[in-house]
Structure 1
Amino acid sequence: MIDDETPVLDNHLHIDPDNHRGIDAVEDFARLGGTHLLVVNKPSWYLGVEADDGEDFRPVFEQTIKIVEQASDVLEGRAWPVLGVHPGLISRLVDDRGYSPDEAREIMQAGIDVAAEYVADGRALALKSGRPHYEVDDAVWDASNAVMRHAFGHGGDLDCAVQLHTEASEELSGVADWAEEAGMEHHQVVKHYAAGRLEGPTPSVMSEKDRLERAAKRGEPFLMETDYVDDPDRPGAVLGPKTVPRRVRWLLEKGNEDAVRNAHVETPKLVYGIDTEKSLDRRSNSV
């Protein structure tokens, strides 16, 4: 069982207050022992926003902040927003809307600039960026890398983490080196949808048992996530909101107390500077 003093953090999921389950998904998470969430804004076009400049992303970010505030009212701990631009937007801009890769880069970098404003004023915890996980031409790849490195520049200036959506890989040391060149620490780069092993960034491990066993055995910093998408057309995708608490219980039953503390106390403090134990005290909402 998960005791009342064990923080349980889902490091990457999406909550849609208007189009699907919204706060009901948070309540499912909390009922099974979940205490903390990092809520990432949905891709802008999923919320009906076809961005032409940076300011077009602001309603997406504001909606995410609103649902995070509601989630914090439900949780024994709290939730934090992670804001940014999904790397898949570049294909939508170039292939569907006729922008050049450089024009798309400018729009996406401007969106990152707006997201960084929210981190700077304390309304968001971290940034989101990355590059396509599918094959693209060289111009789109180069533009995507430039967007990601732009996010690292903000991460260095703001001393905040950057969550990445990238291709599947267990070796991203070069990407972490780019972040370091921009003033970040390697551990502040977080690869979302990671396997149990990763060189370079901190892995945010999809909460499947085989991946978690590898991460626990490795003993390096890691986080746990579901990438729950809160999509009415895919109600259980990617993993449901109950998954992380269930996997924490499973890890504890297997004697992996150290791995649970690593993923839910030590690594969140290392990467984001958040204290998941202290914030279990509902009288304190401090980072």
Structure 2
Amino acid sequence: MIDDRPVLDDHLHLDPDNNRGIDAVRDFARVGGTHLLVVNKPSWHLGVEAETGADFREVFERTIDIVEAASSELEGRAWPVLGVHPGLITRLVDERDFSPDEARDLMQAGIDVAAEYVEAGDALALKSGRPHYEVDDDVWAASNAVMRRAFDHGADLECAVQLHAEASEDMTEVANWAEAAGMEPHRVVKHYASGRLEGPTPSVMSDKERLETAAERGEPFLMETDYIDDPDRPGAVLGPKTVPRRVRWLLENGYDEAVEIAHVETPKAVYGIDTEATLE
């Protein structure tokens, strides 16, 4: 903890096999981190080349297992966020000869399976989105259809949906799609966000400039590293110690209210979790 405060990293990955895994969690905890939302790694990074929705279960089960191990290292706890990485559609279409519609159907089936874990209480939220790079119109349409399936489940289960998507400061249209499905739009979370975003709740990458922008706005936001725990890319994105260190920096610069928003108020509003009550 930092000054008896909860400290949540809203989006990071842990590899159950090949890299730092629980050692990364210990680093996070050692500098004051208390809570984690652990997103399953892309299925193919765990050696799963899915043919059916059921094939994603191995990815989800292994993620749940490492999240349980992570919780034992924290003063708070960790929760799994499960879903299908939107980049899978490119792998399916370009490398495995799926049509965009076939890829859409497989990815929607994977989202359906992830939703089963949320319904059972074994996962907190869903992950979906669309490519953050240029794709053909039919791939874009298929990706949006996958994302909207996640919103359907978000509405039915009253859970949040984290999105991996293109860089933008205005995703009002996407939030409107979620609302049309029956979701509360603030429960749509844009991962890897800048400090300013219209529509979904921003999960802000924890560099100082983005965080200062978010803190000055006074709007709901979350903090993340997108730590990828990839042995082939050890310096990619941000390390697991970053969020606690940025919390200290925010407090030193008078942004106490922003810390409360990011680590207590917004997690409660978006995910229904109480980061204070779950501290030891």
TM-score where L is the length of structure 1: 0.97
Q: Distance in 2 between matches of 1:19 and 1:200?
A: 37
Deviation, structure 1 residue 97: 0.3
Amino acid at match of 2:100: P
Q: Distance in 2 between matches of 1:139 and 1:235?
A: 34
RMSD: 0.7
Deviation, structure 1 residue 186: 1.1
Q: Which runs of 5+ in 2 are unaligned?
A: none
Contact 1:228 / 1:236 at 8 angstroms: preserved in 2?
Answer: no
Q: Distance in 1 between matches of 2:235 and 2:263?
A: 23
User: Over residues 223-267 of structure 1, what are the superposed CA-to-partner deviations in whole Å (9 max), with x where a residue is unaligned?
Assistant: 000000000111132100000000000000001000000000000
Q: What residue in structure 2 maps to residue 43 of structure 1?
A: 42
Amino acid at match of 1:229: I
Q: Distance in 2 between matches of 1:211 and 1:161?
A: 23
User: Over residues 167-194 of structure 1, what are the superposed CA-to-partner deviations in whole Å (9 max), with x where a residue is unaligned?
Assistant: 0000000000000011101110000000
SS at match of 1:280: coil
Contact 1:131 / 1:165 at 8 angstroms: preserved in 2?
Answer: yes
Question: Is 2:98 the counterpart of 1:106?
Answer: no
Equivalences for residues 174-253 of structure 1 within 5 A: 174-253=173-252
Q: What residue in structure 1 maps to residue 25 of structure 2?
A: 26
Q: Percent identity?
A: 80
Q: Distance in 2 between matches of 1:83 and 1:259?
A: 27
Q: Distance in 1 between matches of 2:56 and 2:236?
A: 24
Q: What residue in structure 2 maps to residue 2 of structure 1?
A: 2
Q: Distance in 1 between matches of 2:182 and 2:26?
A: 38
Amino acid at match of 1:112: I
Aligned length: 280
Q: Distance in 2 between matches of 1:243 and 1:237?
A: 13
Q: Name segments (4+ residues, structure 1) moved above 4 Å.
A: none
Question: Is 2:79 the counterpart of 1:58?
Answer: no
Deviation, structure 1 residue 133: 0.3
Equivalences for residues 263-274 of structure 1 within 5 A: 263-274=262-273
Contact 1:127 / 1:162 at 8 angstroms: preserved in 2?
Answer: yes
User: Over residues 185-223 of structure 1, what are the superposed CA-to-partner deviations in whole Å (9 max), with x where a residue is unaligned?
Assistant: 111000000000000000000000000000000000000
Equivalences for residues 61-210 of structure 1 within 5 A: 61-210=60-209
- Which range is displaced more, 230-239 or 60-69? 230-239
Q: What residue in structure 1 maps to residue 261 of structure 2?
A: 262
Amino acid at match of 2:74: L
User: Over residues 88-126 of structure 1, what are the superposed CA-to-partner deviations in whole Å (9 max), with x where a residue is unaligned?
Assistant: 000000000000000000000000000000000000000
SS at match of 1:81: strand
User: Over residues 57-99 of structure 1, what are the superposed CA-to-partner deviations in whole Å (9 max), with x where a residue is unaligned?
Assistant: 0000000000000000000000000000000000000000000
SS at match of 1:224: strand
Contact 1:44 / 1:85 at 8 angstroms: preserved in 2?
Answer: yes
Deviation, structure 1 residue 17: 1.8
